[in-house]
Amino acid sequence: MNKIFTVIFAVALVSIITISGTATASAKGNQKQPIDISATLFVTGISDPETNPNSGWSTIESETLVGGLVTVNAGPAILGTTVISAQQSSHEQFTSDFLPAANVKKGKSKGTFYLTSYLGGDPLVVGKYSIKVSSIPGCQIWGDGKWKSKAKNSIIDGHGKITVCTNFVPAYGTFVSQVTVTGNAALVD
């Protein structure tokens, strides 16, 4: 539960965009376009955090994040018909052992995000991301990092920036992340 914060950020970060495709897929030349998408993710599973009591650093080997439909502010409209989920790991230092009330001092998360036509469906997009985490006013966990996808694995070839704001929401009993992904990408042929 203590590491759920970090997981949500990284996932939320949602290393957005890599689809399972064919090995011969290619991008449409230099026709990259700006991309700006956002989503909300919920931490639904987390491995027991391993915490070093001397340093206060905690490691979470596996965090599962699940969300709803992706909102497309710019970029391929097809992404707006997809549901997002993520799997990540994190290494963070918190302000207290009671995670629901703790902020992240510093750390990092990395993971894989998936876009599917329905929750549990075959991946349409599979992407990688990595983020540095800390906290800012309004975000117990604030993440800022990069995402990348390649045409041979995705319907999208591109890269960009990912930001995540994660907070514990008592009504849901878990951490909830607001993720934004920006950058440039081209649809795969």
Q: Virtual CA dihedral for 148, 161, 35, 40, nearest 10 degrees?
A: 100
Tokens for 31, please give them: 């026709």
| Averaged pLDDT for residues 127-154 | 91
pLDDT at 13: 34
| Averaged pLDDT for residues 6-31 | 37
| Contact present, 2 and 163 (Cβ < 8 Å) | no
pLDDT band at 24 (very low <50, low <70, confident <90, very high): very low
Higher-pLDDT residue of 150 and 27 is: 150
Higher-pLDDT residue of 12 and 92 is: 92
SS (H, E, C) 171-183: CCCEEEEEEEEEE
> Residue 80 carries which DSSP code?
G
Distance from C-alpha of 139 to C-alpha of 163, rounded to nearest angstrom: 11
Spatial CA neighbour of 68 closest among 84, 56, 52 = 84
pLDDT at 12: 35
pLDDT at 158: 87
pLDDT at 189: 66
Is the predicted pLDDT of residue 1 greater than 70, yes or no? no
pTM (two decimals): 0.79
| Averaged pLDDT for residues 14-39 | 54
pLDDT at 98: 80
Q: Which residues, 6 or more positions from 3, have their beta carbon under 8 angstroms from its beta carbon?
A: 46, 47, 49, 58, 59, 60, 63, 90, 92, 99
Percent of the chain with pLDDT over 90: 49
